[in-house]
Amino acid sequence: MRICVVDDEKEVRTSIIQKLYALFPDIEVFDVGFGQQAVQEIQFIRPDVVLLDIRMPIINGLDMLQWIKENFSQIYVIIISGYDDFEYAKKALHFGALDYMLKPVNRKELKETIHKIEHHQVERFLQEIQVCFMKSMVSAFSFQDVQIIPKQVSFWFDERIPKKLQLKMDSLSLNNESGKVSSAPIIFSYSINDIIKGDCIISDELDGTPIFREKEDFFEQLQMQYEKSIQLRFFEVSALDQLSLHDDRDKMHQLASLRNRMLDEARNNNMEQVQCYLNEWFSVIEKIPYRMLIKESAYLLAILDEGFTKPKLIVVDDDLLHYWMSWVAKHVTFTHLRHHMKSLVIRSLQEWIRIEVEQDMGEQTQWFDKAFYIIESSKDLNINLEAVAEMVGVHPVTLSRMFKQKVGINFIQYLTNRRLETAKELIVATDKKIMDIALEIGYSDYPYFRNLFKKRYHDSPSDYRKKHAKSIEV
């Protein structure tokens, strides 16, 4: 925390500065004099707090208070005076002063006021972090996945200060590039789902690591770091340069060709050849970047879910693709994904062949009716395809396909409709935060929920609330 002391008496300034250092040894305190000198120093320092004498020559305290609040509204101002003047105090508080103290400044009162400011700063910092996330286009994690531990948050509010994110490795704070321990001030610590842990620190700009100054850039930097850590863990390597990942069209065409051959062989009930093509498909997909791997894997599963029985699939539904992308992303390593996905794909194809051959609609109706009742009677909108399928003893893809045959839409689309209807009701009838509503109905990815809602109702959730909200009794 940085504090400027403004008073026309040198002895008073010195006394206050000594008290501040005695109470808070780690803060920075500046003797900025008074008048125009104080104005220039405050402009340059951009302190968190100004202790300001109310009666001074050249520029009086009330005028300087107004100037500070007009130009640096985030600065906390504490008025100090040798007079117990109620009218002055009232004016000072009206112009935005946080507190009013009499000279000589009491240590206990000073300590309590600074602690109050620290508390205000932390609250404001946490609010700004949430607003920054809402404005960002981060999709790799939800705000609820991020844990923030405030440290020296006053540096957060000064956008002149370069900042960077630094991963914690083996209980040490290390720079990614240099591996050296940093002694820079820590603004706050963070973690995401225990996957990465690190600190936001003041940067010296000399080590080549990415920096940011504007608050809105924090989550962009965090997403980059998170995705890098996810890739290292997923591919089971210690550095990305150990991977040979290529974002080229040839591999994408190769994957599409293998996918089509796989489905053709499934239609011909040639499961041995399906296995061969699936193994080849995995050998290709592990050589593409992580984001593309997630999407391509989800696309194959969505085709199995939605319409691989058709000669040509037209479009995979966005909700369905998002569901399977979330499913794929839950796998910690490629080895784990490959094992689970192979089993899912083969069993799905075998199940489809069995249904096509047996045409046992009576039996299907029995288990489907049970599944539909479970879904309809469940108040848990986080219920998922695999859980319901397990309850009725069928394959998840079989349930989804039968759902479409019976209801006209697949399971994911049906669940999406229920979720959005519930969200619409909660947005209109309650004062809950929209991000909390998204979580309540099963969407941890807020940007995805916001776009989905706007696509359905032609308004963002917040705009929809403004237009349709009912008055809420308090």
Please give the Cα distance from 293 to 369 (Å, whole number): 36
**Nearest in space to 417 (alpha carbons), one of 392, 442, 390:** 442
CA dihedral 92, 93, 99, 104 (to 10 degrees): 30
Please give the Cα distance from 372 to 366 (Å, whole number): 10
Query: What's the domain range around 309?
Result: 244-341+350-357
Please give the Cα distance from 362 to 359 (Å, whole number): 9
Beta bridge partners of residue 169, listed in sequence order: 172
Yes or no: say if 77 and 50 are a contact pair by the CB < 8 Å rule: yes
How many residues are given for the chain? 474
pLDDT given at position 171 = 34
At 35, which helix (H) or strand (E)?
helix 35-45
CB-count burial class (<10 Å; 0-12, 13-18, 19+) for 362: exposed
Residue 407 lies in a domain: no
Last residue of a domain, one of 222, 237, 252: 237
pLDDT given at position 174 = 40
Residues 115 and 167 reside in one and the same domain: no
CB-count burial class (<10 Å; 0-12, 13-18, 19+) for 95: middle
Residues 229 and 263 reside in one and the same domain: no
Last residue of a domain, one of 175, 206, 237: 237
- Residue 359, helix vs strand vs coil: coil
Residues 6 and 115 reside in one and the same domain: yes
pLDDT given at position 109 = 94
Residues 230 and 249 reside in one and the same domain: no
Residue 367 lies in a domain: no
Please give the Cα distance from 453 to 318 (Å, whole number): 13
- Residue 459, helix vs strand vs coil: coil
Residues 178 and 223 reside in one and the same domain: yes
pTM as predicted: 0.64
Please give the Cα distance from 340 to 328 (Å, whole number): 10
Please give the Cα distance from 292 to 150 (Å, whole number): 35
Last residue of a domain, one of 327, 357, 387: 357
pLDDT along the chain (474 residues), means of 10: 94 95 94 95 95 91 93 93 77 89 92 95 91 75 85 90 79 44 82 84 76 85 83 77 67 88 80 90 89 90 68 66 87 91 83 60 68 83 83 80 81 88 92 89 84 91 85 43
Token pair in block for residue 468: 């349709």
- Residue 85, helix vs strand vs coil: coil
Residues 230 and 256 reside in one and the same domain: no
pLDDT given at position 180 = 55
Residue 129 lies in a domain: no
Residues 223 and 248 reside in one and the same domain: no
Residues 272 and 198 reside in one and the same domain: no
Residues 177 and 275 reside in one and the same domain: no
Tokens 């980059």 sit on residue: 224
Helices (H), 136-270: 218-234, 249-267
Please give the Cα distance from 55 to 165 (Å, whole number): 44
Please give the Cα distance from 102 to 118 (Å, whole number): 21
At 173, which helix (H) or strand (E)?
strand 172-173
Yes or no: say if 435 and 446 are a contact pair by the CB < 8 Å rule: yes
- Cα angle value 448/453/455 (rounded, 5°): 95
Residue 170 lies in a domain: yes
Domain count, the chain: 4
Yes or no: say if 184 and 204 are a contact pair by the CB < 8 Å rule: yes
Residue 108 lies in a domain: yes
Residues 320 and 276 reside in one and the same domain: yes
pLDDT given at position 207 = 63
User: Omega before 396 cis (within 30°)?
Assistant: no
Residue 445 lies in a domain: yes
Residues 6 and 114 reside in one and the same domain: yes
Residue 396 lies in a domain: no
Domain harbouring 63, CATH code: 3.40.50.2300
Residue 128 lies in a domain: no
CB-count burial class (<10 Å; 0-12, 13-18, 19+) for 225: buried
φ, ψ at 196 (rounded to 5°): -130, 150
Residues 115 and 150 reside in one and the same domain: no
Yes or no: say if 395 and 345 are a contact pair by the CB < 8 Å rule: no
